[in-house]
Amino acid sequence: MKAVTVTGSRKRPFALAAGLLVLAGTVIWRYWDENYGGTKTTNDKGKGKPKPAVFVLKRTPLRHHLLPLHRRFIAATLASSLAFYTITERRLMQHAALLVAILVLSAACFFLSAAPTLEQAAFWVFCPFEAAVGMYWPCMGYLKGRLVDDAVCAQVYGILRIPLNIFVVVSLLLTGDGNSFGTVFSACSSLLPVSAGALWALMANHAQ
């Protein structure tokens, strides 16, 4: 938020971040040694410790307008995370089927948010969306753990971050420096059912 205030744009901080990432990558390439692990000995204290990782900040601009209600969003996310474990422990739904429902619910929330609404209406729409987010992460984590081998998980997750980061930047470019989120939310409401349909087809194919 500080960089946005100083530069007066939501786009320029990403250009600044790109420069910092290039600098960080150069320093890492030059000074960091690969951590291959190994057996610790008394002479190896302090060696082989994990290095701090570079992370990507995923920002949802709409939350800025609903900041006073942010704690209620967190409550909705936490409650749905707890409900996820109840659903899976009692085997009420399979993880893949639950993920399909999460994607459909998220698509509906984005569809309702695409048109201009009052702040109170936006809040009630985003409550179920935050609940969907709370279930998405543990559900996706379980499925990725089943489908992606531990030996290649770092490479696969790194590759998956590329389209994610591209989508974030393109979303901000589409919204511009104003407060129009309709284009992005409309695109999300269109893409999420496609993802849900692809997952449903994968489930049907696996069941045969």
| Residue 56 pLDDT | 36
Length of the chain: 208
In three-state secondary structure terms, 80 is: helix
* Residue 55: predicted pLDDT: 31
DSSP 144-172: HHHHS-TTTHHHHHHHHHHHHHHHHHHHH
Provide the pLDDT for residue 53: 35
Q: How many CA atoms lie within 13 A of 18 on its CB side?
A: 8
For residue 71, the model assigns a pLDDT of 62
Instruction: State the average pLDDT over residues 34-52.
Output: 49
Average pLDDT over residues 29-33: 80
DSSP output for 90-138: TTSS-HHHHHHHHHHHHHHHHHHHHS---HHHHHHHHHHHHHHHHHHHH
Given CA atoms 3, 7, 8, 11 in this order, what sign does their dihedral have?
negative
Q: What is the dihedral of CA 37, 38, 39, 41, to 10 degrees?
A: -70
pLDDT one-digit tens code per residue, 154-203: 888 889 889 888 877 777 776 655 556 677 788 888 889 999 999 899 88
Residue 90 has pLDDT above 60, yes or no: yes
Residue linked to tokens 């939350």: 63
CA angle at residue 169 from 164 to 173, to 5 degrees?
A: 145
Q: Enter the pTM of the model.
A: 0.62
pLDDT above 90: residue 19? no
pLDDT for res 47? 45
Give the domain ranges of the chain.
Answer: 1-31, 68-208
Each residue's pLDDT tens digit, 62-83:
555 555 555 667 888 888 988 9
pLDDT at position 88 over 90 = no
Between residues 52 and 82, the one the model is more confident about? 82
